[in-house]
């Protein structure tokens, strides 16, 4: 009978096994800002310290904090035991006793200087500042590459939801064809209340402000700016293109009416502030749609089911198919979750505290891009979507005349529904769902139809639809 030989390790192996590896030095973190996110990072790190350190393979310690008001910062950090409190963020960014800088203060001016200084002084940077990256992301990514440092920003998009990691790592082998997301919690809360409670925009906004979901000046959220920042970052990672905030078509929800939301619901849709990036062939080359605007989404679609301040992202790719991500898009501890995930990744890198360049494994914007490789951005005019045309007449409308007028413009109607008048004693509304139509043509046809009928024409785009087999 064959007997497998027993292999005994050499005495040297036994000796090395007995010798425990030397513990890695702690990752020394300097944090700029102690607001909602900064204090959230502090709490989660203290509460889950043992778990985080075990997963990181070394201790992660906040050793210095920069804030305008150090007394207030100390209070936010439960006395900040063992932490040096500074008033100058630039001093922290260049501190030789700091390995990683957390930029959690926000803004695009001074914050850029702090991040650049930190990278130049051999420090990795973690930030939740989507405005900074959408505005200066290209320059900062180049600086990170030049100095061999990591610029991490999972928390800048969708809060706790790991969408940046999904695009750069989990789906790295895929050709991304499209993504669509609900990326602003404030706007989504307002739209949720307009649909669920029948509120107008102003009333829903007031409620959101009272609950702390919206700022006193809500423009950044309700005008689509915040979502545009996030979309620019997502598109860069998905399509290997520069961060092109200037090329994003942006519309907000400020002008939405209660009747628009009700009309959408009657047709089986929910209205969402949607951020869309989609690849499209244009004149023999690949171009990318970049747009943020209110849109009708089928009521049973996962994005339509996102309530309140929840964020969600749908990604279409060639090998993995469709993937959907959702979760808390804002808040101190949800955002802290993403910040600390980046810190854990950095702690796992070899020689993270060495002054010599480390060479990050993942490019800052997801792709090692060569000059001339980036796809073009498609302007809004040729983008094709179905449209909801809501006709609010002062008098009775002739349906046949309306359809003939649209046909002359080259717009085909797939569905038409008469809805009760919004005001007592008014004429009923005519709701029309068109076939996919170039955006410029739909806008032109709506203007001509309004002039022809005397009815106010409200137009909303429709996304993520399934084309009907028969016209209704």
What positions carry a catalytic annotation? 230
**Cα–Cα distance for residue pair 209/189, rounded to 1 Å:** 11
Please list the alpha-helical segments (H only) found in 272-388: 332-348
351 φψ region: left (φ > 0), alpha (ψ -120 to 50), beta (else):
left
Q: What is the DSSP string of 81-127?
A: TT-EEES-HHHHHT-TT-SEEEE-S--SSHHHHHHHHHHHTT-EEEE
Beta-bridged to residue 461, according to DSSP, are 295, 387
β 249-250/285-298 pair status: parallel
β 456-462/387-392 pair status: antiparallel
Query: What is the distance between the terminal CA atoms of the chain, rounded to a whole angstrom?
Result: 80
Q: What is the 3-state secondary structure (H, E, C) of 126-149?
A: EECCHHHHHHHHHHHHHHHHHHCC
**Cα–Cα distance for residue pair 353/444, rounded to 1 Å:** 59
Q: Supply angle C-alpha 17, 18, 20, rounded to 5.
A: 90
Q: Supply angle C-alpha 142, 144, 148, rounded to 5.
A: 120
Question: Distance of CA 194 to CAs 254, 300, 318, Å?
Answer: 12, 18, 36
**Cα–Cα distance for residue pair 41/148, rounded to 1 Å:** 26
């Amino acid at each position: 009978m064959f007997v497998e030989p027993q292999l005994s390790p050499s005495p040297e192996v036994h000796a090395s096994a007995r010798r425990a590896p030397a513990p890695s030095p702690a990752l020394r973190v300097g944090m700029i800002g102690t607001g909602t996110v900064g204090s959230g990072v502090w709490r989660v790190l203290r509460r889950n310290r043992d778990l985080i350190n075990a997963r990181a393979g070394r201790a992660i310690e906040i050793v210095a904090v920069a804030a305008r008001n150090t007394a207030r910062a100390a209070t936010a950090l439960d006395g900040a035991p063992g932490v040096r409190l500074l008033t100058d963020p630039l001093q922290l960014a260049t501190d030789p006793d700091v390995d990683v800088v957390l930029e959690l203060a926000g803004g695009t001016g001074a914050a850029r200087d702090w991040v650049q200084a930190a990278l130049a002084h051999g420090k990795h940077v973690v930030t939740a500042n989507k405005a900074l990256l959408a505005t200066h992301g290209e320059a900062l990514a180049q600086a990170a590459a030049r100095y061999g440092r990591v610029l991490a920003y999972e928390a800048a998009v969708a809060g706790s939801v790991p969408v940046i990691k999904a695009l750069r790592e989990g789906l790295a082998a895929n050709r991304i064809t499209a993504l669509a997301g609900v990326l602003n919690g404030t706007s989504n809360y307002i739209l949720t209340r307009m649909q669920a409670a029948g509120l107008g925009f102003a009333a829903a906004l007031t409620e959101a402000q009272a609950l702390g979901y919206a700022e006193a000046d809500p423009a950044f959220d309700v005008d689509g700016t915040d979502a545009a920042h996030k979309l620019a970052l997502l598109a860069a990672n998905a399509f290997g293109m520069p961060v092109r905030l200037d090329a994003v078509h942006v519309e907000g929800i400020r002008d939405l009416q209660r009747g628009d939301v009700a009309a959408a619901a009657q047709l089986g849709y929910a209205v969402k502030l949607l951020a869309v990036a989609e690849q499209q062939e244009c004149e023999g080359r690949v171009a990318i749609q970049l747009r943020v605007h209110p849109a009708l989404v089928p009521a049973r679609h996962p994005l339509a089911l996102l309530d309140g301040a929840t964020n969600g992202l749908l990604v279409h790719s060639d090998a993995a198919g469709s993937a959907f991500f959702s979760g808390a898009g804002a808040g101190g501890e949800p955002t802290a979750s993403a910040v600390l995930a980046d810190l854990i990744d950095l702690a796992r890198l070899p020689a993270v505290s060495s002054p010599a360049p480390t060479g990050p494994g993942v490019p800052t914007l997801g792709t090692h891009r060569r000059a001339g490789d980036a796809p073009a951005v498609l302007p809004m005019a040729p983008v094709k979507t179905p449209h909801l045309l809501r006709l609010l007449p002062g008098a009775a409308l002739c349906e046949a005349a309306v359809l003939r007028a649209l046909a002359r413009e080259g717009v085909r109607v797939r569905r038409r529904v008469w809805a009760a008048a919004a005001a007592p004693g008014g004429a009923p509304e005519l709701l029309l769902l068109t076939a996919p139509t170039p955006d410029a043509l739909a806008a032109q046809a709506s203007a001509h139809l309004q002039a022809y009928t005397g009815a106010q024409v409200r137009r909303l785009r429709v996304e993520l639809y399934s084309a009907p087999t028969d016209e209704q």
